[in-house]
C-alpha cells in the first residue's frame, strides 16, 4: 500500500496580478540594463530572450519563487503597519 500526500495552492486573482506586476517590473529593469550595455545588437537580442524566458520561469511557473514573493510582500506589509 502506498500513501502519498500532495499540496496544492490555488492562487487568487490578486496574487496573480501581483506576480504579473513583479514580472513586468523585473523585465523592464533587465531590458533597460541590457539595452544600456555597450554590446552588439545580436548579443542584446540573445540576452533579452534569455532574460524573458528566465523571468517567465521564475515569476510565473516557479511555485517556490511565488511563495517567496508572497512572504516578502507580507513581511513588508507588516512592517508598514507597525510604523
Answer whether residue 9 shows pLDDT above 70. Answer: no
- CA–CA distance from 18 to each of 12, 14, 60, 83 (Å)? 10, 6, 11, 23
Whole-number pLDDT of residue 47? 96
Whole-number pLDDT of residue 8? 67
- Give one DSSP letter per residue of 13-59, joined into a string: HHHHHHHHHHHHHHHHHHHHHHHHSSS-HHHHHHHHHHHHHHHHIII
Rg (CA), the chain: 17
pLDDT one-digit tens code per residue, 17-73: 888 999 999 999 999 999 999 999 999 999 999 999 999 999 889 889 988 988 888
Entry pTM: 0.75
**Nearest CA to 60 among 4, 17, 2?**
17
Amino acid at each position: 500500500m502506498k500513501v502519498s500526500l500532495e499540496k496544492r495552492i490555488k492562487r487568487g486573482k490578486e496574487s496573480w496580478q501581483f506576480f504579473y506586476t513583479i514580472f513586468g517590473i523585473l523585465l523592464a529593469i533587465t531590458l533597460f540594463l541590457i539595452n544600456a550595455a555597450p554590446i552588439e545588437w545580436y548579443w542584446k537580442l540573445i540576452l533579452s530572450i534569455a532574460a524573458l524566458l528566465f523571468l517567465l520561469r521564475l515569476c510565473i511557473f516557479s511555485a517556490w519563487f511565488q511563495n517567496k514573493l508572497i512572504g516578502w510582500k507580507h513581511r513588508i506589509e507588516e512592517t508598514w503597519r507597525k510604523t
